[in-house]
Structure 1
Amino acid sequence: MGRATTRGRILRIRNGSVDERADTLVVEEPLEIRVNGKPLTVTMRTPGHDFDLAAGFLLGEGVVRRAEDLRVIRYCAGATEDGSNTYNVLDVSLAEHVPPPDTSLERNFYTTSSCGLCGKASLDAVRTRAQWPVADDRVGIGPRILMELPDRLRGAQRIFDRTGGLHAAGLFSVEGETLAVCEDVGRHNAVDKVVGWALRQGRVPLRGSVLMVSGRASFELVQKAWMAGIPTLAAVSAPSSLAVGLAEEAGMTLVGFLRGASMNVYTGIDRVLLEEGSGHAEEVTT
Structure 2
Amino acid sequence: MGRVTVRDKVLRIRDGSASERVDTMVVEEPLEIRLDGSPLSITMRTPGHDFDLAAGFLVGEGVIARESDLVAIRYCAGATEDGSNTYNVLDVTLAAGVPVPDTSLERNFYTSSSCGLCGKASLDAVRTQAPWNVAGDGLRIGVDTLTALPDRLRAAQRVFDRTGGLHAAGLFTPEGELLALREDVGRHNAVDKLVGWALRSDRVPLADTVLMVSGRASFELVQKAWMAGIPMMAAVSAPSSLAVELAAEAGMTLVGFLRGSSMNVYAGRQRILLEGAPSAPPAATEGIRVPGR
TM-score (norm 1): 0.94
Asked if structure 1 preserves the Cα contact closer than 8 Å seen for 2:209 and 2:232, the reply is yes
Shift of 1:115: 1.3
* Deviations, residues 102-144 of structure 1 (Å, cap 9, x unaligned): 3366334321101122243655555553100100102111111
Aligned position for 2:218: 218
Asked if structure 2 preserves the Cα contact closer than 8 Å seen for 1:78 and 1:89, the reply is no
Q: What are structure 2's unaligned runs of at least 5 residues?
A: 289-293
Q: What are structure 1's unaligned runs of at least 5 residues?
A: none
Aligned position for 1:48: 48
Cα distance in 2 for partners of 1:247, 1:205 equals 17
Cα distance in 2 for partners of 1:239, 1:282 equals 20
Aligned position for 2:233: 233
Cα distance in 2 for partners of 1:17, 1:80 equals 44
Amino acid at match of 1:244: V
| Segment drifting more, 102-111 vs 154-163 | 102-111
Cα distance in 1 for partners of 2:276, 2:108 equals 46
Count of residue pairs the alignment pairs up: 284
2:97 aligned with 1:97: yes
Task: Name the CA shift for 1:78/1:30 in 2 (closer, same or farther; >3 Å).
Answer: farther
CA RMSD across the alignment: 1.8
Aligned position for 1:4: 4
- Paired-residue identity, %: 75
Aligned position for 1:31: 31
Amino acid at match of 2:209: S
Cα distance in 1 for partners of 2:240, 2:218 equals 6
Aligned position for 2:198: 198
TM-score (norm 2): 0.92
Cα distance in 2 for partners of 1:216, 1:250 equals 19
Secondary structure of the corresponding residue to residue 273 of structure 2: coil
* Deviations, residues 201-255 of structure 1 (Å, cap 9, x unaligned): 0110000100000110011000000000000000000000000000000000000
Cα distance in 1 for partners of 2:230, 2:121 equals 21
Matches within 5 A, 1:81-96: 81-96=81-96
Cα distance in 1 for partners of 2:21, 2:124 equals 52
Matches within 5 A, 1:95-174: 95-103=95-103, 106-120=106-120, 126-127=126-127, 129-174=129-174
Shift of 1:13: 1.4
Secondary structure of the corresponding residue to residue 132 of structure 1: coil
Cα distance in 2 for partners of 1:169, 1:153 equals 8
Cα distance in 2 for partners of 1:36, 1:143 equals 46
Amino acid at match of 1:46: T
Asked if structure 2 preserves the Cα contact closer than 8 Å seen for 1:142 and 1:276, the reply is no
Cα distance in 1 for partners of 2:276, 2:182 equals 29
2:274 aligned with 1:274: yes
Cα distance in 2 for partners of 1:232, 1:85 equals 39
Amino acid at match of 1:180: A
